[in-house]
Amino acid sequence: MKLEVNIIDAFTDTVFKGNPAAVIITKSWLDKSLMQSIALENNLSETAFLVMDETGTYQIRWFSPITEIDFCGHATLASAFVIFNKNPELCAIKFSAKAVGVLPVIKTESGKIQMDFPNTNPEKVKTIPDKLKSGLSIEPVEVYRNSQAYFAVYETEHEVLSVLRDNESLMNLKPFDVVVTCKAESNKYDFISRYFWPANGGDEDPVTGSIHTGLAPFWAKRLGKNELVAYQASSRGGLLNCIVMGDRVLISGTAIQYLEGTIVV
């Protein structure tokens, strides 16, 4: 069996930056074990698998090299990029995923792809887990949590950029990952972050769209603004534009093609 695969660098306009994701569109679902094997072989943060249903909505599933993921923003952006490229007349599409429902996506006049996600604003943690404390080399000033991750809040960019992780400790927080964040000191961005996910995907994720559905409302409240620019400060780096609208968060970004090829399985 031959499958078309596209690898897209998401949340960037430069190849080798942002977060790469593989996108595979099929007429019907592959076996779950096969999808997991393909994701492992691809060895990217995520591989997205899509099947269009009878209503024209794309059912979407995301797999890291380790496990199926409930929600992935950058692979959704990559998937939308592929679909829009194949269908240039389209300006809007819909994805649907079991854990997060329907995800509308539009192509904006500026050329960015805007995704409409649920608001996953985190809540403050009363008792910080010991494994989180031992898993980060610098103690955060506050810790929050949503359904996806612990939010370790720091005072300075230096702390966010220099904090080291202990994967063995952080793995004990499963199913939760860890995002470290602070208010940006540069006027280019409103806040910055890094994302650690040894329990679900790997060491450090280059750019994590899904976590910004929690980061954006968190910083919107603190900064007193609903439109924010975020930078994920991994070695590859990525830029995200966020708008908080009640129970929804709009996240926009650019993407660029890296590879188009064929998988033989």
Which is it for strands 255-264 and 113-118: parallel, antiparallel or unpaired? unpaired
Q: State the pLDDT at residue 264.
A: 97
Active site residue 46: yes
Look at residue 61 and tell me whether its pLDDT is greater than 80: yes
Positions of CATH 3.10.310.10 in the chain? 2-116+251-264, 123-246
Residue 243, classed as helix, strand or coil, is strand
CATH superfamily of 2-116+251-264: Diaminopimelate Epimerase; Chain A, domain 1 (3.10.310.10)
Mean pLDDT of the region 177-199: 96
Q: What's this model's pTM, rounded to 2 decimal places?
A: 0.95
Burial (0-12, 13-18, 19+ Cβ within 10 Å), 43: exposed
Q: Across the strands, what pairs with 207?
A: none
Q: State the pLDDT at residue 207.
A: 97
**Residue 59: partners with Cβ closer than 8 Å, 6 or more residues away:** 50, 51, 52, 53, 95, 96, 97
Q: Which of 4, 41, 46, 142 is catalytic?
A: 46
Mean pLDDT of the region 8-17: 97
Class of the CATH domain delimited by 123-246: alpha beta
How far from 140 is each of 96, 148, 214, 259, CA to CA, in Å?
36, 18, 17, 39
